[in-house]
Amino acid sequence: MFRSMLVRSASPVKQGLLRRGFASESVPDRKVVILGAAGGIGQPLSLLMKLNPLVSSLSLYDIANTPGVAADVGHINTRSQVSGYMGDDNLGKALEGADLVIIPAGVPRKPGMTRDDLFNINAGIVKNLSIAIAKYCPQALVNMISNPVNSTVPIAAEIFKKAGTYDEKKLFGVTTLDVVRAKTFYAGKSNLNVAEVNVPVVGGHAGITILPLFSQASPQANLSDDLIKALTKRTQDGGTEVVEAKAGKGSATLSMAYAGALFADACLKGLNGVPDVVECSFVQSTITELPFFASKVRLGKNGVEEVLDLGPLSDFEKEGLEALKAELKSSIEKGIKFANQ
């Protein structure tokens, strides 16, 4: 994704290869919109999407401070043209013609807050933004970052259904940070090169609903059951770890922006017809009895091409799967109820 950043320091031969790999003539134009672009996640996410050579137009929206972010990011010498939009009156202009909409809008977690404490504020924000998406860019892929994702994705789905624009293949809850954490923590304990590690994470995107499948990690390391349990707990509590470390000064913004940019890049590759793009995401699903579930998803020109099965689970993972269902079901229902009240 970030190969374009390497061009400056590469040899002339390597430069040619790198440029050829991302020649803008061969890559379709893609408009990406970030809703909440001036926030803690939104600003670094805007920077990372500006560095992505698959983006031709980057539209930044927030209720305040967007012109400054857009001016700053817009000076970076990469492919995309940057536009900044501020306030409700300009939301439609920001969204028109979007291929991909990323939503990090809302308030962050503070110490002592659960993701559900965020619900009433962020649910209202997501509801209003979803109404605008349905009106101005109903065909766009939507990447939901705003927490609690277990509820905000169902909210967006209900709003789109009401508008008659819902396509379950185009709505994604971004759970990539759980995967990023699981890879990092697993590689650290296994003495593996983290760049080569893969760990699927399924379920939801809060506390015990986050279920890393370390039994399916590759390469496989023989870690003890106790260590697997500790790594699972650390992955589930990763957000809290950062909130506490920042001591009231914020939540996981930088790692979340990175994870959001990673997933957005996968969506763009899928749209552009790159084969075998598989990422974990919280989507409408029939692989369990729950209407939404995070698992591996094959991405393509229409968004979700295929929701992949969970595969073989260890006994510990089977227990975790059963334990998470009640909380995840409740969060999904809470979102649906909110959207319809």
Catalytic residue numbers read 205
Q: What are 36's two structure tokens? A: 């909440």
Nearest by Cα to 143 from 117, 105, 182, 114: 105
Sign of CA dihedral 70, 133, 30, 42: positive
Instruction: Give residues with Cβ within 8 angstroms of 322, minimum separation 6.
Output: none
Given a contact cutoff of 8 angstroms between Cβ atoms, the answer to whether 139 and 101 are in contact is: no
Q: C-alpha angle with apex 248: 38 to 204, nearest 5 degrees?
A: 70
Q: Is 25 exposed, middle or buried (0-12, 13-18, 19+ CB in 10 A)?
A: exposed
Q: Is 138 exposed, middle or buried (0-12, 13-18, 19+ CB in 10 A)?
A: middle
Q: In which element (H, E) is residue 203 found? A: strand 201-203
